[in-house]
C-alpha cells in the first residue's frame, strides 16, 4: 500500500519533469508539431500532478526548484529577446543609456564592444530600447558578470529569473497560508509549463514584476501601505503594466490616503528613470511606443475583431484600441470604487485582462501575471489560457511568419465560453485546478 502511494506521487512528477525537459532542450519555436505535442503532454501531466500527487508544501517547493534547476542550461530557441537584454546591459556598463542610440548606430561606432556577431542576432536593431529601469538594472548585472559573453550573461539572467520566480511562489504560499488547498493552488503557478518555459528558459521580463506585486498585496493586507506602494513602483519600473493596478486603491483607502499611496509610487517610478535620461529620451521612447501600437500585431482579440469589421485604417495605430481600453478600465474602476468589496488580487486580474483584451500584441508570456493571480481568486480561466495561447507559436512555423488566425478564433471562443461557465457556477467543481 505504501509503495502504491509513493508511485501515485512520483509517476506524474517524473512524467512532468520529462515533458518539461523535452520542451526545454528539444523543439525550437519553428518546430511546430514537436512543440505543440510536447507542450500538450507537459500541460496535461501538470494537471495530473495538481490533482493526484498530493504533495506537501515542502515537496511542492522541492519539485518547483528541481524543475527550474533542470532547465538552467537549456538553450533559448523560442525567442531572441535575450540578445537585446544583453545589448542593453552592455550599454549600461559602458556608461551609455540604452535609450540614447539604436544598435544600428552603436555597431558602427563601437564594434569592439557592440560586436557585429551580437548585432546580427537582434530582432529590432533599428529601434531604441523600450525596457524599463529595473529590467535595465538586471540586464546590466548580467552583462557585467557575464563580461559581455552571450552564454554567461544568459546564465546570469536565468539565475535572476529563477530567484524572482521562486519569490513569486513564496509570496503565493504566504498569501494562501490559511487555505486548506494551498499546495494545489500554488502548484497551478509553480508547476505550470508555460511559466517554466517563458520565465525560466526564455527569460521574459514579466517575471520581474509579478513577485513585487504579490508581496505588495501581502504588505497591504498588513496595512503597511507605504511599503506596498514602494513595491508597486518597483514592479512598474520592471514592466509598466502595474501602474494600472493603482485603480483599486481608492476603493479601500479612500481618496485622501490614496493620494499618499499614488505619490510614493509615482515619485519612485519617475525617479527610477533619471539614470537612464539622455537628450532625446522622450522622442526615442515615444518612437518605440508608437511602433508598438501602430506596427506590431499578435494575437489581439479585440484588434483582430475590429480590423475585420472596419479595416486597418480605422483600427491600427489610430488610438481606437487605447480609447476603448481607457473606457473599459475606467468603467471597471468606477465599479470597484462603488462596490468596495473586490479583493486586490481579483481587481488586479481583471484590470490586466481588460488591458490585454484591448492590446494589439498578446504574446504567451504576457498572460503569466494572470496565471500568478488566479490562485488568489475564484477564477481559473487564466490556467486554461496558458494552454490555449501556446498554438500561437504556429506563427513561427513558416517563413515569412504568418499568424494562425483560425486558431485565434478557437482560442478566444473556448476561453470566453469557459469564463462564462465560471461566472455562472462558482459553487460547482471547476474543470481546471479548483
**Owning domain of residue 225:** 2-424
Is residue 434 very low, low, confident or very high in pLDDT (cuts 50, 70, 90)? Answer: very low
Is residue 225 very low, low, confident or very high in pLDDT (cuts 50, 70, 90)? Answer: very high
pLDDT tens sequence across 163-218: 999 999 999 999 999 999 999 999 999 999 999 999 999 999 999 999 999 999 99
On whether the CB atoms of residues 153 and 89 are closer than 8 A, the answer is yes
Identify whether 431 is part of a domain.
no
Mean of pLDDT values over 5-28: 89
Mean of pLDDT values over 130-155: 96
- CA dist., res. 117 & res. 74, Å (int): 21
- For the chain, give the percent of residues with pLDDT over 70: 96
Identify whether 433 is part of a domain.
no
Identify whether 32 is part of a domain.
yes
pLDDT tens sequence across 55-84: 999 999 999 999 999 999 999 999 999 999
- CA dist., res. 149 & res. 151, Å (int): 6
Residue 9 predicted with pLDDT over 80: no
Identify whether 286 is part of a domain.
yes
Residues in the chain: 434
The reported pTM is 0.95
Identify whether 154 is part of a domain.
yes
3-state SS, one letter per residue, for 366-410: HHHHHHHHHHHCCCCHHHHHHHHCHHHHHHHHCCCCCCCHHHHHH
Residue 427 predicted with pLDDT over 90: no
Domain count, the chain: 1
How high is the mean pLDDT of the chain?
93
Identify whether 432 is part of a domain.
no
- CA dist., res. 188 & res. 190, Å (int): 6
Is residue 319 very low, low, confident or very high in pLDDT (cuts 50, 70, 90)? Answer: confident
Mean of pLDDT values over 272-276: 96
Quick one: pLDDT at residue 432? 39
For residue 24, count CB atoms less than 10 angstroms from its CB and return exposed for 0-12, middle for 13-18, buried for 19 or more: buried
Quick one: pLDDT at residue 295? 78
From the list 429, 312, 308, 299, the residue with the least C-alpha distance to 357 is 299
Identify whether 217 is part of a domain.
yes
Mean of pLDDT values over 406-416: 97
Neighbours of 217 (CB within 10 A): 23
Identify whether 185 is part of a domain.
yes
Quick one: pLDDT at residue 37? 97
pLDDT tens sequence across 233-255: 999 999 999 999 999 999 999 99
Amino acid at each position: 500500500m505504501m509503495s502504491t502511494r509513493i508511485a501515485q506521487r512520483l509517476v506524474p512528477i517524473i512524467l512532468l519533469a520529462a515533458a518539461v525537459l523535452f520542451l526545454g532542450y528539444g523543439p525550437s519555436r519553428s518546430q511546430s508539431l514537436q512543440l505543440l505535442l510536447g507542450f500538450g503532454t507537459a500541460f496535461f501531466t501538470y494537471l495530473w500532478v495538481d490533482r493526484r500527487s498530493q504533495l506537501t508544501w515542502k515537496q511542492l517547493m522541492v519539485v518547483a526548484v528541481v524543475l527550474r534547476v533542470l532547465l538552467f542550461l537549456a538553450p533559448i530557441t523560442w525567442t531572441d529577446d535575450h540578445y537585446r537584454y544583453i545589448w542593453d546591459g552592455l550599454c549600461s556598463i559602458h556608461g551609455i543609456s540604452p535609450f540614447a542610440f539604436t544598435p544600428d548606430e552603436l555597431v558602427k561606432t563601437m564594434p569592439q564592444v557592440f560586436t557585429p556577431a551580437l548585432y546580427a542576432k537582434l530582432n529590432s536593431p533599428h529601434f531604441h530600447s523600450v525596457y524599463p529601469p529595473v529590467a535595465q538594472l538586471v540586464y546590466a548585472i548580467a552583462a557585467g558578470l557575464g563580461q559581455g559573453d552571450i552564454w554567461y550573461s544568459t546564465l546570469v539572467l536565468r539565475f535572476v529569473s529563477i530567484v524572482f520566480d521562486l519569490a513569486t511562489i513564496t509570496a503565493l504560499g504566504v498569501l494562501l497560508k490559511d487555505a486548506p488547498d494551498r499546495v494545489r493552488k500554488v502548484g497551478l503557478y509553480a508547476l505550470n509549463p508555460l511559466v517554466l518555459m517563458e520565465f525560466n528558459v526564455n527569460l521574459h521580463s514579466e517575471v520581474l514584476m509579478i513577485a513585487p506585486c504579490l508581496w505588495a498585496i501581502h504588505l497591504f493586507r498588513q496595512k503597511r501601505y507605504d511599503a506596498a506602494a514602494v513595491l508597486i513602483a518597483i514592479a512598474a519600473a520592471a514592466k509598466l503594466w502595474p501602474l494600472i493596478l493603482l485603480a483599486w486603491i481608492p476603493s479601500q483607502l479612500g481618496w485622501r490616503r490614496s493620494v499618499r499611496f499614488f505619490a510614493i509610487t509615482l515619485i519612485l517610478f519617475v525617479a527610477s528613470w533619471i539614470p537612464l535620461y539622455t537628450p532625446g529620451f522622450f522622442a526615442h521612447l515615444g518612437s518605440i511606443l508608437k511602433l508598438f501600437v501602430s506596427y506590431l500585431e499578435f494575437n489581439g482579440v479585440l484588434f483582430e475583431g475590429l480590423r475585420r469589421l472596419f479595416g486597418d485604417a480605422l483600427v491600427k495605430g489610430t488610438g481606437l484600441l487605447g480609447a476603448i481600453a481607457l473606457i473599459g478600465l475606467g468603467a471597471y474602476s468606477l465599479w470597484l470604487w462603488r462596490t468596495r468589496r473586490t479583493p486586490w488580487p481579483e481587481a488586479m486580474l481583471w484590470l490586466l485582462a481588460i488591458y490585454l483584451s484591448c492590446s494589439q500584441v498578446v504574446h504567451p508570456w504576457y498572460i503569466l501575471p494572470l496565471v500568478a493571480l488566479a490562485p488568489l481568486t475564484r477564477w481559473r480561466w487564466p490556467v486554461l489560457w496558458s494552454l490555449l495561447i501556446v498554438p500561437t507559436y504556429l506563427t513561427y512555423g513558416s517563413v515569412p511568419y504568418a499568424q494562425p488566425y483560425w486558431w485565434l478564433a478557437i482560442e478566444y471562443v473556448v476561453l470566453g465560453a469557459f469564463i462564462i461557465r465560471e461566472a455562472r457556477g462558482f459553487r460547482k467543481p471547476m474543470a481546471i485546478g479548483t
